[in-house]
Structure 1
Amino acid sequence: MSVFDLCLSLFDGSDRSLILSLIDYAAFYVALVPVFGVASAMILMGEQPSFVQWIGAVFVIASSYCANRLRSSSA
């Protein structure tokens, strides 16, 4: 039994949609983990991201923002 199944088994059928909704909400921010990793490397180790990394960070942040706005407008 996975941790996900264990967490879902703690709730009855009406609360499962709440848990799945929270997981769906958190999924938008998973893509931001590398951005925070690069930002942490800049602060802690003095790394300088390349131009391609800056463009990638902009795309990741913009797509997470747009996906979150799209989700909130359709809800």
Structure 2
Amino acid sequence: MVTVDHELVFRLRALERLTQEAFGKRIGVSGAMISDIERGIKSVSRTLALRIVAEFGLTPESVQRIRELPV
């Protein structure tokens, strides 16, 4: 099971070198929504988490590696 939270979204976006707008476009939301998620204003819904996992091919192992990377 993969947990997608604001920290993972921020780290994944940085790793992929995407703007908030570009990241949002890949998963079907606005850049403003990504900004709100990264700042902890909005939470990641189950539906959005599933889209992120599918779009970026996340596994529990890859998520662990992403969380261990320096920011």
TM over 0.5: no
The structure with the largest helix share of the pair is 1
Structure with max Cα Rg: 1
Q: RCO greater where, 1 or 2, for CA within 8 Å and sep 6 or more?
A: 2
**How high is the TM-score relative to the length of structure 1?**
0.30
